[in-house]
Amino acid sequence: MISEPVIFAKTSSVCTHSFFLAGSFPVEVLSPWGLTALALLIPLVVLYILRIKRQRKRVATTWLWAAAQRDLLARHPFKKLIAQIPLLLQALVLLFLGLALARPATRGRAITGDHLAIVIDTSASMSAAATEHNVAGNVTTRLDLAKQVAKDLVSALQPGSDVLVLEAALDARLASPLDRDAVRVKAAIDRLQPRDVEGDLGAAVALAVDRLRQLGGSRRILVLTDGNLARPTTFSGTSIAVEVITVGSAADNAAIIRTDVRSGTDPVTKREQVQAFLVVANFGTKPRELFVTMREDNASDTLASRKVLVQPGERLPVVLTFFPTRGDYRRGLAFEISPHDAMPVDDMAYGRVPAGDKLPVFLAAPGDPSPWLYRAIAADPAVDLKTGSTSSLSAAGGVEVDSFVVVDGACPDNPPGADLFIVHPPAGTCFGALVGQTLENPTITSWESRDSRLRFLTLDGVYISRANLIRPQSTTQELIRTQSGPIAVDISTPARTATLLGFDVGESDWPLKASFVLFTRNLLEQARAHRAQGVTGPARAGEPLRATIPATATDVTATGPNGEKAEVSMRAGLAVVPDVTKTGFYNLAWQGPQAGTLVVPVNLTSAAESDLSAKPLTATSGDVTVTQAGSEPDSHNEWTWVLALIALAFIVFDVWYFTRAPKAVSLGSLALAPKLPERPRG
């Protein structure tokens, strides 16, 4: 049976200082400035050691005033401090009043349990300022509050309990294994940093349950989050009770939630133009006047800017343009909205200048290429077509990195460029597909119309005099089928999209039909889209970064936004950076026959993560409890009133001591009697 947890958290903006008594009795001073009242002890002591200025009086004898006479003869203004009951009482009054003003507090109860798992949300929204007040001043983030609450929980654990710390963002990571050393656990908590990724607590909670399931004794899981999750978690169905503590308060926030950079043509000047399409969202309750700017990476000059007014809840499209030069191609673009607000990470977004408005196409053949292929490709005005022999494919600098390569009558190994189209290869293996026997007068029976290369066209009535049968590695790769088997297949690799056509288009009437033009245009548009994107997967923080580089590349390195080296793996022309947790520009560099570099922008662009409005979490079952840190009365036991009562008691005793009636003394009790004068004998 799992006991009901006791959760305490302090999220007030008032400065607090913690210390411990007897090793395990935590005490916090909630108002440390109150301790300045202890400085009144100094003038109190001075009053007791300062000599009193005497007045001259005429008396009959000085016998009873010998002590006073010695004081009058003293040359120093101060006398020796003598311990007196009034001094002690008044010092105690000042001491307890000073401590009362400092508001000391102790834990109401200790956290009980044998095993505790603390899951801390480290997603992008946890980097937001905790309150509106400290956005412009010293920023205390939501993660700072969560870490402080986590350390308080560790301090309140009973001796012998162990703690497991997990950080949760888009995935789960182990921050600290089960440990009983509070110092090491707190150090692991302090090392946690927010990541520029969306939040998902499900994986971390599942990992915590898996780690605690096999342990004996009482177990509990505490989740610290702000509730702004891109993937809300219900926490239902867990075998261990989950306690959720939310931190931070709602804040107004504006963000760039979408970016797209394309190359176009200015309708007036007819010049090539880079067009950046942004979507700026206002998740606040007030209209925001924002400046949206665009600049190149490592450049301070602004390429374009706009001033916009975004209404509450509005998602405003913004278009920024500029005229590029050849030196601007493939360079990074940084977009920014200002002034910044509670969450600066989503005020920035990143893109890349497209490599020209025309798609480079290289048509290679052992001899003269097919005129039908040449005409179909050259008919596209947005194509920069070059031709050459298949041997020129291996020449350094002969083919641009992002070119669409078309090979007629051959199947070269590791051809350069990006997307690939191979037509009528010789018999044998070609990119994993087996080019086999020749079919005479094959009839097309079906084609994969759902594939983007064959959309909007029909192959009915296409006559082919001869074609080679192709056996792909999987039936899912078949594109065009005949009664004997496929004659066109997909031979794509992780690094590039490739198409294999098993017949010479000149030995068919296909070039005379509109479907051939559409097929060629689909290939070009697909290559153009891949070239504009530059990566084969989404370049978003928290997801693996995949970029296409030459298959012959060696010594591939990746550098992160802050200059840190990132782990990178490379296979068949595909470079993968698995750990991408920060937004910005990632620079890939490689050596080899086609050495080069590539800039890949990584963005957050998450509306769910940027929405910092109040999103209360509710318990979905009896095994889940949700509390707001600081929403309930202070979880500490303040001792201010106790100390104030003690000080009042000392004041009452001091007043009684000064006003008490003096004790009567009888003359018979006096041991000394007046000495009689001596008389002479006589």
Percentage of the residues of the chain whose pLDDT score is greater than 90: 45
**Separation between Cα atoms, residue 489 and residue 499, nearest integer Å:** 6
**Separation between Cα atoms, residue 157 and residue 324, nearest integer Å:** 62
Strands 359-365 and 478-482: unpaired
DSSP H helical segments within 257-342, as ranges?
none
- Token pair belonging to 213: 């399931």
pLDDT value for 508 = 95
pLDDT category at 101 given cuts 50, 70, 90 is confident
Mean pLDDT over each residue of the chain, to the nearest integer: 82
Q: What is the pLDDT of residues 540-570, one digit of tens each?
A: 898 889 888 887 788 999 999 999 999 999 8
**Region 575-602: what's the mean pLDDT?**
89
**Separation between Cα atoms, residue 353 and residue 296, nearest integer Å:** 9
Residue 370 C-alpha from the chain's centroid = 53
Listed ranges 143-157, 263-277, 458-472, 602-616; the one with the highest mean pLDDT = 458-472
pLDDT value for 630 = 52
**Which amino acid, residue 283?**
F
Instruction: Identify each DSSP E strand in 374-533 by its residue range.
Output: 383-389, 404-408, 420-423, 428-430, 433-440, 444-447, 466-471, 478-482, 486-490, 498-501
**Region 511-515: what's the mean pLDDT?**
94
Write down the residue that tokens 């000064």 correspond to.
658
pLDDT value for 111 = 60
**Separation between Cα atoms, residue 3 and residue 5, nearest integer Å:** 6
- Count other Cβ atoms within 10 Å, centred on residue 244: 24
Angle CA(231)–CA(152)–CA(344) in degrees, nearest 5? 45
Q: What is the pLDDT of residues 10-43, one digit of tens each?
A: 333 333 444 333 334 456 676 777 778 778 778 7
Question: Which candidate, 198, 199, 157, places its Cα nearest to that of 178?
Answer: 157
Percentage of the residues of the chain whose pLDDT score is greater than 70: 80
220 and 189 in contact (C-beta within 8 Å)?
A: no
**Separation between Cα atoms, residue 633 and residue 627, nearest integer Å:** 12
Provide CB contacts within 8 A for 662, sequence distance 6+. none
Angle CA(511)–CA(516)–CA(521) in degrees, nearest 5? 130
Q: What is the pLDDT of residues 359-418, one digit of tens each?
A: 999 999 999 999 999 999 999 998 999 999 998 887 766 788 889 999 999 999 888 888
Residue 181 C-alpha from the chain's centroid = 28
- Higher pLDDT: 266 or 231? It is 266
Q: Is the pTM of this model over 0.75?
A: no
Query: What are 259's strand-pairing partners?
Result: 278
**Region 215-219: what's the mean pLDDT?**
83
Peptide bond between residue 339 and the one before it cis (omega within 30 degrees of 0): yes
Instruction: Identify each DSSP E strand in 392-457 by its residue range.
Output: 404-408, 420-423, 428-430, 433-440, 444-447
Please check the confidence at residue 509 and state whether its pLDDT lies above 90: yes
If you compute the radius of gyration of the chain from its CA atoms, what whole number of angstroms results? 41
Question: Which candidate, 256, 212, 268, places its Cα nearest to that of 238?
Answer: 212
**82 class by beta-carbon count within 10 Å (0-12 exposed, 13-18 middle, 19+ buried):** exposed
CATH topology for the 359-533 domain: Rossmann fold (3.40.50)
Domain ranges of the chain: 32-102, 108-250+614-637, 254-351, 359-533, 545-602
108-250+614-637 to CATH, choices 3.30.70.1350, 3.40.190.10, 3.40.1110.10, 3.40.50.410: 3.40.50.410
pLDDT category at 79 given cuts 50, 70, 90 is low
- Token pair belonging to 673: 């009697």
**Separation between Cα atoms, residue 194 and residue 541, nearest integer Å:** 12
- Same topology for domains 108-250+614-637 and 254-351, yes or no? no
Question: Which candidate, 274, 226, 278, 214, places its Cα nearest to that of 250?
Answer: 226
**Region 527-548: what's the mean pLDDT?**
79
**Separation between Cα atoms, residue 447 and residue 305, nearest integer Å:** 48
Q: For 71, phi and psi rounded to 5 degrees?
A: -65, -35
- Token pair belonging to 670: 């006096």
**Region 104-115: what's the mean pLDDT?**
64
Largest CA distance in the chain: 175
Write the CA distances from 220 to 167, 203, 442, integer angstroms. 16, 16, 69
253 and 612 in contact (C-beta within 8 Å)?
A: yes
Pick from 213-227, 383-397, 650-664: least confident: 650-664
194 and 582 in contact (C-beta within 8 Å)?
A: no
pLDDT value for 42 = 80
The DSSP element (H or E) to which 335 belongs, if any, is strand 332-338
**Region 163-176: what's the mean pLDDT?**
92
**Region 413-440: what's the mean pLDDT?**
92
Which DSSP category does 508 fall into?
A: B
571 and 508 in contact (C-beta within 8 Å)?
A: no
Write the CA distances from 355 to 276, 400, 401, integer angstroms. 14, 10, 10
**559 class by beta-carbon count within 10 Å (0-12 exposed, 13-18 middle, 19+ buried):** middle
Residue 649 C-alpha from the chain's centroid = 54
pLDDT value for 138 = 56
pLDDT value for 262 = 87
Give a three-class secondary structure readout of 58-127: CCCCCHHHHHHHHHHHCCCCECCCCCCHHHHHHHHHHHHHHHHHCCEEEECCCECCCEEEEEEECCHHHH
* 466-471, strands of its sheet edge to edge: 428-430, 433-440, 466-471
272 and 323 in contact (C-beta within 8 Å)?
A: yes
pLDDT value for 659 = 78
Write down the residue that tokens 């509990």 correspond to.
220
CATH 3.50.50.60 fits 254-351, yes or no: no
**Separation between Cα atoms, residue 466 and residue 441, nearest integer Å:** 5
Which DSSP category does 491 fall into?
A: -
Angle CA(617)–CA(618)–CA(624) in degrees, nearest 5? 110
221 and 205 in contact (C-beta within 8 Å)?
A: yes
The DSSP element (H or E) to which 115 belongs, if any, is strand 115-121
Strands 420-423 and 404-408: parallel
**Separation between Cα atoms, residue 46 and residue 68, nearest integer Å:** 20
Write down the residue that tokens 């405003």 correspond to.
316
340 and 254 in contact (C-beta within 8 Å)?
A: no
- Higher pLDDT: 636 or 136? It is 636
Please check the confidence at residue 273 and state whether its pLDDT lies above 70: yes
